[in-house]
Amino acid sequence: MFISDNHGHVNPVNGLGPKIVAKRFAEKGGSFMVIVSLLPSDFGLNAGDINDVEKLYRLTIESSRLVSESGVKSVPVIGLHPAECYKLLERGWSINDVRNHMIKVIDAASQFIKRGEAIGIGEIGRPHWDVNNDIIELCNDIILYAMETARDINAVVHLHLERKGRETVDSIKILADKANIAKEKVVLHHAAPDMVGIGASYGFSPSVPIGRKGEFDAAIQLGPIFVVESDFADDPKRTGSVIPPWTLAKKLKNYVERGIVREEFIDSICKTNMEKIYGITL
């Protein structure tokens, strides 16, 4: 049985770090993990400084490399979380200043991807809490630019979004159609159950958090049309907020042992679907 984690973070400065995370995941049967950029503030970096953002990217890429060296194959996805856009606005930046900065942030990510150092852009997107329409429009502009960039370099995009079911997914379809991006390259990170079916029907790649009670159970009723994630933060101050990758592995094995799903189901969501998204062989 092949076990993967489609979206997790590691913190080599203040957390367990890539080597320990990989070791514990491998011990429970984990084989593949997508390492996604944390917030710049997690490393004492400034999201408004493009040089600091590039430092964040290098930390993410190096962490992914160390995960791979520690027994779990890994690829990095680099970008700036939408919460950082919100923080810049709170600091007094204008909408246009944030938009222009995020274009630079995405352009910088694309250079790493072109060099083969990373595989995708993310997580970018919209705040998951209610914000005004000006901020939503700003974030949509950023999403569209990221999709267009990813299209041109054959990269994946991990989207952080609000969880409003069809409304959320339909809005992303409009942007994806406009960008003309291959929809399987668009990962709906932390997808709620009511986003999975409609997302997959549009060709997107819904990524279901296994740690949210009942949500994986709801998703499996729809068939192997999604991937699974821990969204591990590797933050000792937030140990109860999301599950670690090794718990993801234990839970997936438990679903098979209890006869809820067959091994082939896990292989489909953890291997076949992942290979399709990332264009790699696992």
How would you write the pLDDT of the chain (282 residues) with one tens digit per residue? 999 999 999 999 999 999 999 999 999 999 999 999 999 999 999 999 999 999 999 999 999 999 999 999 999 999 999 999 999 999 999 999 999 999 999 999 999 999 999 999 999 999 988 889 999 999 999 999 999 999 999 999 999 999 999 999 999 999 999 999 999 999 999 999 999 999 999 999 999 999 999 999 999 999 999 999 999 999 988 766 679 999 999 999 999 999 999 999 999 999 999 999 999 999
The candidate with the shortest Cα–Cα distance to 5, out of 201, 229, 273, 259, is 229
Please give the model's pTM, rounded to 2 decimal places.
Answer: 0.97
Domains and CATH numbers, the chain: 3-278 (3.20.20.140)
Rounded CA-CA distance 195/164 in Å is 8
Rounded CA-CA distance 186/195 in Å is 13
